[in-house]
Amino acid sequence: MPGRPIRAILFDLGGTLIRYDHMGISRAFWWGARSSYRYLCSLGYRPGSYWSYALSSLIRLRWELLRSGWKGRDFNALELFKHIGSGKGMCLSEVQWEELAWTWYEPLARLAHTEPDLQTTIKILSDQGLSLGVLSNTFIPACCLDRHLSHLGLLGFFAVRLYSYQYPFRKPDSRIFLAAAGQLGHQPQDIMFVGDRLDWDIWPALRLGMRAVLLAPDKGRSVRSALSSGAMQITAISQLPALVAQINNACNSHCA
């Protein structure tokens, strides 16, 4: 029996809307360290030698990531920058702190990629009358992720954007999915969740009654357990408009 029509779509960010080059993360870190160091120097600060600055940043980042794993919640990298900087006598405006965060993130953004027709696909979904949102596990500040989405021409389509560091819980905790549903203004049963991970995206969405769509560009990837549980699979986000139309047409025909 057909279910309820889809009225909203929630997207995972990293690995789904934006695909980061995981092989290049180490390279991006060192580029970000150099860029942020130069930015601080341009403001008149002398954060010690470059290598001391970069290595201490790397150690602190790894420590915070370990703590996140233990605590089950993500940290706010922007607040971390402020804490470290203020301890070294730095007094930056909010705009400058956010620019510092961007100097760290921008090299990673340059290594990321999206589907070539992503903006067109998202616009089609929006034109179908769907509410669109982003739900992501991340420690990267909203100012950076929103700026990246803006550069991609996508920000205006996502009025709802939830980043896990803003909450005391993260995916796969059902509370963050329910928080996203509340901001979208729809019941979970009316929402489709699109993600690339079974554990963080597909299973929790299904448990709440959402439609779950696994993005698996590798057709050889084993997704039998996901599909047997009621999830759907796509190999590209560009397939979503047709999938949503098919589901909603079936629901409308059944109701009629």
Pair 19, 113: CB distance under 8 Å? yes
What are the pLDDT digits (tens) for 41-88? 999 998 889 999 999 999 999 999 999 999 989 999 999 999 999 888
Look at residue 6 and give its three-state secondary structure: coil
Cβ neighbour number for residue 190 with a 10 Å cutoff: 19
**What was the pLDDT predicted at 255?**
60
- Tell me which residue of 174, 164, 6, 32 sits closest to 107, measured CA to CA: 32
What are the pLDDT digits (tens) for 210-243? 999 999 876 555 555 556 567 899 999 999 999 9
Task: Kindly report which listed range (53-57, 129-133, 248-252) carries the lowest average pLDDT score.
Answer: 248-252
R_g over Cα of the chain: 20
**What was the pLDDT predicted at 88?**
87
The residue extents of the domains of the chain are 8-19+114-255, 22-111
The fold of 8-19+114-255 is Rossmann fold (3.40.50)
CA dihedral defined by 197, 230, 250, 116, rounded to 10 degrees? 20
In the numeric block, the tokens 């909450």 are attached to: 167
What are the pLDDT digits (tens) for 13-32? 999 999 998 778 889 999 99
The Cα 47–Cα 40 span in angstroms is 7
The Cα 127–Cα 247 span in angstroms is 16
